[in-house]
Amino acid sequence: MNLSPEAEAVFRYHERSKHRLDRYAPGPGHLDWANQPDPFRGFEGSARIALPLLADGLATRFAEVREGALPKASSLDRDSVATLLELSLGLSAWKSFRGSTWALRCNPSSGNLHPTEGYVVCPELPGLPAGVWHYVSRDHALERRCEPDAEAWEGAFPGGGIIVGFSSIHWREAWKYGMRAFRYCQHDVGHATAAVAYAAAALGWHARGLQGWGDADIARLLGLDRSGDFSGAEEEAPDLLMWVGRKPAEVTPAGLAQGLEHADWRGRANRLSQVHREWSDIDRVHAATKKPSMPPRDTPDPPQRPAPKAIPADVSAASLIRRRRSAVDFDGVTRIGSGAFFAMLSALLPRADAPPWAALPGTPRVHCALFVHRVDDLAPGLYLLVRQDPALPRLKQALGPGWPWSKAGPDGLPLYLLLEQDLRDHARLVSCHQDIAADSCFSLGFIAEFEDIVAGEPWRYRELFWETGLLGQVLYLEAEAAGVRGTGIGCFFDDEVHALLGLRDRRFQSLYHFTVGGPVDDPRLSTLPPYGDREPVPSLRKNPAR
Ligand SMILES: Cc1cc2nc3c(=O)[nH]c(=O)nc-3n(C[C@H](O)[C@H](O)[C@H](O)COP(=O)(O)O)c2cc1C
């Protein structure tokens, strides 16, 4: 295979960032607590708007969101944008233990380090002037980075909508995880993308990834290329943009360019750590995976499928989203019914109109290798969920002969039994010896079609990780709705997983793991409300439903 230098760089990074049984990927060695990065970015000198906390008043049920039965679209103004952010990137609690306190957010993050920064780009809205705004989750506030030519922007947001953008501060993850951190940053973008898509659906809005934008276009729009504003501070790498609005729409860089021509930018990024260590592997893979500008891809909409089996819990979308947590331990006894298990798996299949699929449009490239431990009426063992039918022959070929591929589960669910066996020890081993992979009801590896995609378009290395993060977020919420709990697993021995599956080359690679089971909480931790001591911000609505 003739590879571009970029593709070679990506394959090299991928190999070097693998954890192996006899050697973890290069990391910092010890944690330099004095230089722990500040989890909150701020832009000093920018104007701020405090956002009201209104999510409690949102009546939408989680079951409706999950089925794609969206409520009437909320009007677009400061209050609804505030609810969108509160339920996606906002804080969900503070935790405290022996004098240390840390925040949790609606979106999870590897090591709770939160490398993902969120932006809102909007035209003039009631209560929210036109601009490029940076979201500060700690304060539930927006910082106005850019005041554009509002008139020039009027027609650029067709049909009522805004843009939500993401960037990553790689250093936040590299501080703890070293070279492998680039992967974790991409997972987190996928989780955040899905978090926004679910929150948008709860408001009756569509969320669609904007495809034509290259990294340079995104950096220009969000002001990430304004090096003076980041001097002395950690830079932000552009990731992706989503259209969020009452109707699906495309927005192009050209459509917003005029408004940016005479824009007024304000604010200087805060420095997150005093001392940094360079990770040249991350710089190289970042350079090799820069996304070019491109015409929007002609991606078919996800298929029409029946909604996954209804969940028994009648819970509001807002409370389910905010009570999502990672289990730190599982009890090793909880079982789930096969009906609940199959419902969770069918929720991983893309469906038209249901979140979060349009947020990352395109053919599904990620499948699930499941280690089933404790599911009623289902033999423990290794199962494959094939998320896109045409991938089945490719998977069969790559996994080699010897697997029976017996169809399992209900009709219409592309689930196959490969091996009937107690795999708890194997699951623990391949997930860096973590008990959470064995003491759960099931754990899994997200297996991505890899070599051809990365060789053809190296930037899509990042997109594959985003897809795994998106799936992880679906599972987090599905697990909560089913009365159990999930945890993302970024630490796994890549090639041990491949050996177990019979994968001998890089046509497919495992990019992320996940586990779902009966959680055991740590009673030593106390929990505080996310915005407990905040002054209330009045709502624009006369009779806020609170
Ligand atoms: C990409 C990713 C990788 C993770 N990897 C692990 C892991 O290997 N082991 C683990 O115990 N938790 C893991 N977690 C869970 C995080 O530690 C957790 O999300 C974070 O502490 C925030 O807590 P919360 O999810 O309850 O908000 C991972 C989470 C994400 C999003």
- CA-closest residue to ligand 1 atom 8: 489
* β-strands 268-269, 415-420 pairing: unpaired
Residue 523 lies in a domain: no
Task: Report how many domains make up the chain.
Answer: 2
CATH of the domain at 358: 3.40.109.10
Task: Name the amino acid, one letter, at 233.
Answer: A
Give the separation between CA 28 and CA 32, rounded to whole angstroms. Answer: 9
* pLDDT for the residue 356: 97
Percent of the chain clearing pLDDT 70 (strictly above): 99
Q: Quick one: 276 and 367 in the same domain?
A: no
- The one-letter code for the residue type at 76 is L
Give the whole-angstrom CA distance, residue 320 versus residue 317: 5
User: Given this model, what pLDDT does residue 140 score?
Assistant: 98
Are the CB atoms for 440 and 517 separated by under 8 Å? yes
Q: Phi-psi category of 232—alpha, beta or left, where left has phi over 0 and alpha has psi -120 to 50?
A: left
Residue nearest (by alpha carbon) to ligand 1 atom 9: 489
Using the mean position of ligand 1's atoms as its centre, give its distance from the Cα of residue 366 in Å. Answer: 20
Q: How far is the CA of 515 from the centre of ligand 1 (A)?
A: 11
Supply the pTM of this predicted model. 0.98
Domain-embedded: residue 100: no
**Distance (Å, whole) CA 241 – CA 166:** 6
Residues 437 and 339 in one domain: yes
Closest atom, ligand 1, to C-alpha of 107: 27
Q: Is 271:234 a contact under the CB 8 Å cutoff?
A: yes
Question: Which of 267, 288, 309 corresponds to the end of one domain?
Answer: 288
Q: Is 491 in the pocket of ligand 1 (CB under 6 A)?
A: yes
Q: Which atom of ligand 1 is nearest to the CA of 432?
A: 8
Place of tokens 């890089």: 506
For 98, phi and psi rounded to 5 degrees?
45, 55
Tell me if 330 CB under 6 Å of ligand 1.
no
Paired sense of beta strands 485-489 and 508-517, if any: antiparallel
User: Is the same domain home to 500 and 394?
Assistant: yes
Is 545 a domain residue? no
Cβ–ligand 1 distance for 325 under 6 Å, the answer yes
Residue 127, phi-psi category: left (phi > 0), alpha (psi -120 to 50), beta (remainder): left
Please return the burial class of 99, using the count of CB atoms within 10 Å of its CB with bins 0-12, 13-18 and 19+: exposed
- Residue-wise pLDDT tens digits, 75-103: 999 999 999 999 999 999 999 999 999 99
In sequence order, which residues have a C-beta less than 8 Å from that of residue 180 and are 6 or more positions away?
17, 19, 25, 27, 490
436 CB near ligand 1 (under 6 Å): yes
- The pLDDT tens digits of the residues spanning 135-157 come to 999 999 999 999 999 888 888 89
Same domain for 421 and 461, yes or no, is yes
CA of 339 to the centre of ligand 1 (A): 27
Residues 378 and 432 in one domain: yes
pLDDT score recorded for residue 313: 82
Domain-embedded: residue 38: no
Is 235 inside a domain boundary? yes
pLDDT tens digit sequence for 210-241: 999 999 999 999 999 999 999 999 999 999 99
Query: Residues 493-520: what's their mean pLDDT?
Result: 98
- 269/328 same-domain check: no
Q: Is residue 197 lining ligand 1, measured as CB closer than 6 Å?
A: no
Dist. CA 496–CA 71, nearest whole Å: 45
Task: Output the average pLDDT for the chain.
Answer: 95
Which range of residues forms the domain containing residue 389? 317-517
Q: Are 120 and 81 spatial neighbours (Cβ–Cβ below 8 Å)?
A: yes
Q: Does the residue 65 lie in any domain?
A: no
The answer as to whether 489 is a domain residue is: yes
Task: Look at residues 227, 226, 225, 221 and name the one whose alpha carbon lies nearest to residue 254.
Answer: 221
Tell me the per-residue pLDDT of 391-406, one tens digit each, with 9 for 90 and over: 999 999 999 999 999 9
Whole-number Å distance between alpha carbons of 471 and 336: 20
Give the ligand 1 atom nearest the CA of 472: 31
Evaluate whether residue 123 is within a structural domain. Answer: yes
Residue 368 Cα to ligand 1 midpoint, Å, equals 19
Contact at 8 Å (CB) between 266 and 45? Answer: yes
Same-domain status, 429 and 321? yes
The residue whose two tokens read 């199962």 is: 383
Q: Extract the tokens encoding 419.
A: 């091996």
Verify that 352 and 274 share a domain, yes or no: no
Q: State mean pLDDT over 459-481.
A: 98
- Separation of CA 487 and ligand 1 centre (Å): 6
- What CA–CA distances, in Å, run from 64 to 59, 198, 201? 11, 11, 9
Q: 251 and 338 in one domain?
A: no
Q: Which helix (H) or strand (E) holds 152?
A: helix 150-153
Is the Cβ atom of 490 under 6 angstroms away from ligand 1?
A: yes
Percentage of the residues of the chain whose pLDDT score is greater than 90: 90
Nearest to 58 by CA among 531, 538, 541, 545: 545
End position of a domain, from candidates 245, 269, 288: 288
**Residues 407 and 275 grouped into a single domain:** no
The answer on 321 and 280 residing in a single domain is: no
CA atoms lying within 13 Å on the CB side of residue 5: 3
* Ligand 1 centroid from CA 191, angstroms: 11
Could you report the per-residue pLDDT of 179-204, keeping only the tens digit for each? 999 999 999 999 999 999 999 999 99
Q: State yes or no: cis peptide before 356, omega within 30 of 0.
A: yes
Instruction: Tell the residue nearest (CA) to atom 21 of ligand 1.
Output: 112
Starting from the edge strand earliest in sequence, which strands make up the sheet with 508-517, in order? 406-408, 415-420, 381-385, 366-372, 442-449, 508-517, 485-489
Regarding whether 338 and 252 lie in a shared domain, the answer is: no
The number of beta carbons lying within 10 Å of the beta carbon of residue 397 is: 11
